[in-house]
Structure 1
Amino acid sequence: MSGQFGLLVAIALRHLAGRRRQTLVAVSGVAVGVGFFLAVSAMMIGSQNDFVKTLIDAAPHIVISDELRSPPPQPGIRAYPGAAVDLRHYKVRNEVRGLKGWPQILRAVDAEPGAIGSPSLTGAITLRSGGREEALTIIGVDPAVEEKVSTIEDKLRTGRLRDLESTQGGIIIGEEMAQRLGLAIGDVVGATPASGQSRSLRIVGLFKRGQSQLAATAGYVLLREAQSLLGRPFIINRIGVHLNDPYAAQPISRRLEARFSYKAESWQERSADFLSLLVTRNVIMYSVVSAILLVASFGIYTVVSNSITDKRRDIAIMRSIGFSERDLQLIFVMEGLVLALIGIVAGWLLGYGLMAILGSLEFPIAGEDRHLPLDRSARQYAIAAAASLLAGTVAAWLPARKAARVDPVDILRGAI
């Protein structure tokens, strides 16, 4: 059996060797298709991975806020469930916003495997300096915990998050706001909350310009400083959760929300619109690059078809001496496979070279010169090889199937 298979392979290789120019064209077509498939997919998937990483690192993986997805039922409705109760003109009781029992929630978060929770308090104040005013959303944090949950430290142009602990009334704001107020590191600025009780804060750090992950009107202070400034002692309204496995955010957020009723948003939920766009983008990308590989397979179809046309008498003789239809089909399918395999190897080399060139280029991104993010994983090489092998096999099988069914008697008589 192995000897017969070796004979069929030898015949297929001999056919290809006799048509070197067409073989070279077909191999080149597959190589170019595979090479550009790798280059395009490396750029697209690489940029997608970089974008998703930015989404993941931009904020905590889960944010628990003092909001409820659905308001609790009125006491009358709760007392008589399913009854014909119609409540009108009732006065809603004013409640102080904040996470009730937040130490218990924080303990539950920290009990999750690989999870770290960071409590914070957010509120609005007005900064005043030199007759100019700017509205600012302050976020009170515990620096020792917050730097484990978010990447704020990487967004600072000057200063450190820990400087909030060492400086009384320290605050970190963005470079743009500091420029508008005419402030620099070490300057003192007046801060007025909604209660109207003004106090002084000192600039201890500045965020870099163009940080899309941070609001331009947001500033960071110490948690107890925010509680004192906003007149909300011992209150927090947000818990940020960092996970060792970001992709476990959805099930953990559902568990926490079901247990404590407060809204717990995973990073996937907050970025659902962007993630759905990435799915559409991937469908378009793979459709385009698959079309490139499909066009490249036409070269294999042409080589095999011409080989069949030129070898009609050989086909008839082989059939007459005992070769089966399956044997003939296998010969021509192997021709297509050999062309595809050689083209794939050449395409891998071409794709590797194109990725090396693209990876060496620098582009101004977010005010900095950065290299293109590329996905050089073996997965893309495997996808390109599998798609090319499939296209090459089908392209060779179509003419081979037709050739194997031709009556050898008609060929020998010259009828065809």
Structure 2
Amino acid sequence: MIRAWLVLAGVAFAHLVVRTRQTLVATMGVAVGVGFFLAVSGMMSGSQQDFIRTLVDSAPHIIVRDEQRSPGLQPAVTAFKGAAVQVRGVRPKDEVRGLKDWSAMLDDARALPGAIAAPSLTGGVAVRFAGRTEAISLNGIDPRIEGKLIKLEETLKGGTLADLLVRPDGIIITRPLAQRIGANLGDTLVVTSAAGVLQRMRVVALIEPDARAGFYAGDNTAYGLLRTAQVLFARPNIVNQLHIKVADPEQADVEAKVLEGRWGYKWESWQERSRDILNLLVVRNVIMYAVISAILLVASFGIYTAVSTSVADKRRDIAILRAMGFTGQDVQQIFLVEGLVVGVIGALAGFALGTLLLEALSRVPLSINGQPLELPLDRGPLQYAIAGAASLASALVAAWLPARKAASVDPVDILRGAA
């Protein structure tokens, strides 16, 4: 069996060597297709992985809010349930906001393997400085834990989260917000909440938008100490959010649903918050692989042409092989081997070309807001495996069509015609 395969491979190699120029062109076509496949897929996949990593790191994996998944029924509706009664002008029941039994919920969340959880009180405030007023969202946090949940510390300039523990009246704002109101580090802002409480807070650090850090909450977001926020919002010992980081971000959606069924509040995972974006990424992947598959499809035409020409030129040789005892399947395998050899050599050359293209892309100078940025690229083995498998599959399909035609050649008709 092995000897028979060696004979078939020897005949296939002889055909390829005789037609060196055409073999080289077909091989280069596969190499270019595989190389650009790796470059495009590496760039697109790398940017997607970097974007998802930013989504995961820019906010807690799970956020618990003081609201229900579905709004509760009003008392007027439940009092006359199923009756032919229509109630008009009833004042809706006001709900007391804030998480009930939040300390027990926090302990339950921390019981998850490898989980980190922290309470938070978030609300809208107005900050005023030098006659300028801006509406922002103030997050009252525990600085000792919040820095482990999100990559906030890496974006701070001029201070750290620990400064909030030293100065309970401290506030951390974004640099764009500071520029709009004309404030700098150490300046004192007048902060007013919806409860009518006014408090002077000192800027202890600035959040610098930095694409390399993988985190940015938004221009109108600020951070302060949890106790200070509770005083400012006139809600002592109350929190309206829990921030949770789990060991495996991919399991955040599953764990959020389990805990939501247990406690009833809205446990929102990062997948749920980013559902529309993730769906767009799926569409983007379909378009990407369709385009780069078309590149390989074009390259496979070179193999089809090379094998078809070889079949046409070797019809007499095929007849002689059949007369010597080679079966139609043997002949078909010869030309399949030709296509496979071209595909393998082209894929290996394409790997080298793709690696060079990825290296060149990594050296392209990019910047965002004046800060250098390295293009995220995926150079993992999966991309090479996909490119190699796709090139070999297209090579076999392109060679199979003319190989099947070669297998159906009638040696008697060809030899008789030659005579």
TMscore range, shorter length: over 0.9
Question: Which stretch of structure 1 is more off in the superposition, 358-367 or 330-339?
Answer: 358-367
Match of 1:414 among 406, 413, 417: 417
1:59-117 alpha-carbon deviations (Å, 9 max, x no partner): 01111101112122345665776666655443323232111111111111111122111
1:23-54 alpha-carbon deviations (Å, 9 max, x no partner): 11011000000011001100000000001111
- 3-state SS in 2 of match to 1:126: strand
Paired residues of 2:16 and 2:23 also in contact (CA < 8 A)? yes
Please name the residue that 1:297 is paired with: 300
Please name the residue that 2:291 is paired with: 288
Please name the residue that 1:194 is paired with: 194
CA distance, structure 2, for counterparts of residue 330 and residue 236 of structure 1? 72
Please name the residue that 1:111 is paired with: 111
Paired residues of 1:42 and 1:380 also in contact (CA < 8 A)? yes
The residue type paired with residue 314 of structure 2 is K
Please name the residue that 1:18 is paired with: 18
Question: What does 1:238-277 align with in structure 2 at a 5 Å threshold?
Answer: 238-277=241-280
Match of 1:223 among 217, 223, 226: 226
The residue type paired with residue 106 of structure 1 is L
Number of aligned residue pairs: give it. 416
Match of 1:214 among 207, 211, 217: 217
Please name the residue that 1:316 is paired with: 319
1:143-170 alpha-carbon deviations (Å, 9 max, x no partner): 0011111111122122101100001311
CA distance, structure 1, for counterparts of residue 147 and residue 352 of structure 2? 43
Paired residues of 2:209 and 2:216 also in contact (CA < 8 A)? no
Distance 1:192 1:77, change over 3 A: closer
CA distance, structure 2, for counterparts of residue 190 and residue 105 of structure 1? 34
Question: What does 1:248-397 align with in structure 2 at a 5 Å threshold?
Answer: 248-397=251-400
CA distance, structure 2, for counterparts of residue 2 and residue 131 of structure 1? 89
Q: TM-score, normalising length from structure 2?
A: 0.95
Paired residues of 1:313 and 1:411 also in contact (CA < 8 A)? yes
CA distance, structure 2, for counterparts of residue 363 and residue 90 of structure 1? 60
Paired residues of 2:197 and 2:233 also in contact (CA < 8 A)? no
Please name the residue that 1:55 is paired with: 55
The residue type paired with residue 22 of structure 2 is Q
The residue type paired with residue 280 of structure 2 is L
Please name the residue that 2:160 is paired with: 160
Q: TM-score, normalising length from structure 1?
A: 0.95
Q: Quote how far apart the aligned CAs of 1:174 are.
A: 1.4
Please name the residue that 2:31 is paired with: 31
Please name the residue that 1:178 is paired with: 178
1:191-225 alpha-carbon deviations (Å, 9 max, x no partner): 22223332211110111147883231221110000
- 3-state SS in 2 of match to 1:227: helix
Paired residues of 2:168 and 2:225 also in contact (CA < 8 A)? no
- Unmatched runs of 5 consecutive residues or more in structure 2: none
Distance 1:64 1:151, change over 3 A: same
Paired residues of 1:77 and 1:85 also in contact (CA < 8 A)? no
Paired residues of 1:158 and 1:207 also in contact (CA < 8 A)? no
CA distance, structure 2, for counterparts of residue 191 and residue 284 of structure 1? 48
Report sequence identity in percent: 53
- 3-state SS in 2 of match to 1:413: helix
Across the aligned residues of Structure 1 and Structure 2, the Cα RMSD in angstroms comes to: 1.8
- 3-state SS in 2 of match to 1:73: coil
The residue type paired with residue 115 of structure 1 is A
1:143 aligns with 2:143: yes
- 3-state SS in 1 of match to 2:173: strand
CA distance, structure 1, for counterparts of residue 217 and residue 321 of structure 2? 74
- 3-state SS in 1 of match to 2:417: coil
